[in-house]
Structure 1
Amino acid sequence: MMHMVDEGFESFYNDEGFGPIVDTRPVPSHKLDHYRGKLPDRLLQYWRAYGFAGYGNGLFWMTDPDDYSEVLNAWLYGTNFHRKDKYYVIGRTAFGKLVVWGTKSGPSLTIATNMAMIFPSDKSDRIKDGYADSMISNWLAATRRSSLDEDDDDDCPLFERALKALGPLAEDEMYGFVPALGVGGPARLDHLKRVKAVEHLIFLAQLGDPKIMLDIVKEAKDRGLWK
């Protein structure tokens, strides 16, 4: 029976159906040492226990931040986030949505690359109060398959159909729209291809400046509506 690091991972793995793990890569000790103090200890525990791996048949991937540093720079360069914090891609979906952790700001950015949108959610206060580990655990526990899937132009989820039509993804692949949605391509199954994730995500970043969406929590706090 597989060992569960905590209840958050157990909920993610069993209750939400993201198990079993696919295409795992062990994380060497020197990499764990490198990220200690930059990323939460709880995330490093996941890495040590499960490696960099895919979940939900490849719908979600827990990533090596080193693999996506160039991608992240391509998306953040020229925005207010560039150099504001030390950011790391800690996860991505089969369709290239990126989960980004900031050393000072926590799980503060989600980049919806197909739509060229960046969703900020600064959690600096909670990081200062020492909640980084619980935030990682709660993030996994709250993850739902439906939130990671991509819908087609008829609002129908694509992942299971893409998996059946195109086959499972390798750890360095994603399902990409060809032509990209950013240049007017349709969101349809017959326009999805298996592509190299890093190369495709950098290509998408070059199509134009991303839209920075409203940080709803920050806006509410600034208006005195949230304490």
Structure 2
Amino acid sequence: MPQIPDFVPAAPVPAATIERYRGRIPDPVLAVWQSQGFGDGVGGWLKVIDPDLTIERLGDALPAPGLIPLFATALADIVVWDEARQKSRVLLYRYGRVDPFATNFDLAIGDLSDPEALAEDWLWEPFPAVVARLGRPAYADAFMYVPLLALGGPESPDHLDTGDLLTHVQLITQLAGPLQYV
């Protein structure tokens, strides 16, 4: 069973949520929900998020219907499951693009202890440097570039601050435009 290292629970996943998504999302994600709940791990890098709350709060900031938010990163990226296509994607709001994501969540979650996998698969730079400067972000928070990268801000840990994750995603979408989902 996949486990997220250094996990700090925020809340258990309600049984109704587990049943609503059973058979709709990959089993390893359901296993994390059942064993660890909502919360964050890997020093605050990876957040196991409530898909219903995320869909409700983000609305049009999600680039396509039928996307189920599963995880968020401390840099406000959101890993979604595209139920219609049976594929995962990572919504890289900070860069204004959508990328493919691991097809095997067992491996992706298992790689969370590997610094190379974190850098390559999870695009976690400059997370270590900003955590050294600002500390572990709260569960509902993310690091955000000030000014936004889309508005010409430099991609430097010195230009990161902390704020509400979902509000930040909404702000990026309003100022930089919606992500193009193909």
Same fold by TM-score greater than 0.5: yes
Which residue matches 2:17? 31
CA positional deviation for 1:101:
0.1
In the TM superposition, what is the alpha-carbon distance from 1:38 to its structure 2 partner? 2.3
Any unmatched runs of 5+ in structure 1?
14-18, 77-81, 124-133, 151-156, 216-227
TM-score normalised by the chain length of structure 1:
0.68
Partner of 1:99: 79
Runs of 4+ in 1 over 6 A off after TM superposition: none
1:181 aligns with 2:168: no
Letter in 2 for 1:29: A
Letter in 1 for 2:40: G
What secondary structure is seen at the aligned counterpart in 2 of 1:207? helix
1:95–1:149: 8 Å Cα contact kept in structure 2?
Answer: no
Q: Aligned match of 2:168 in 200, 219, 227? A: 200
> What SS does the corresponding residue of 2:176 show, helix, strand or coil?
coil
Structure 1 segment 114-153 matched on structure 2, within 5 A: 114-120=94-100, 135-142=104-111, 144-147=117-120, 148-150=122-124
Q: Is the 8 A contact 1:101 1:107 kept in 2?
A: yes
Instruction: Please state if 1:73 is matched with 2:60.
Output: yes
Structure 1 counterpart of 2:172, one-letter code:
L
Look up the match of 1:221. none
Determine helix, strand or coil for the equivalent of 2:119. helix
* Larger radius of gyration between Structure 1 and Structure 2: 1
Relative to the length of structure 2, the TM-score reads: 0.83
Following the alignment from structure 1 to structure 2, what is the Cα–Cα distance between the partners of residues 42 and 108? Answer: 13
Q: What percent of counterpart residues are identical?
A: 24
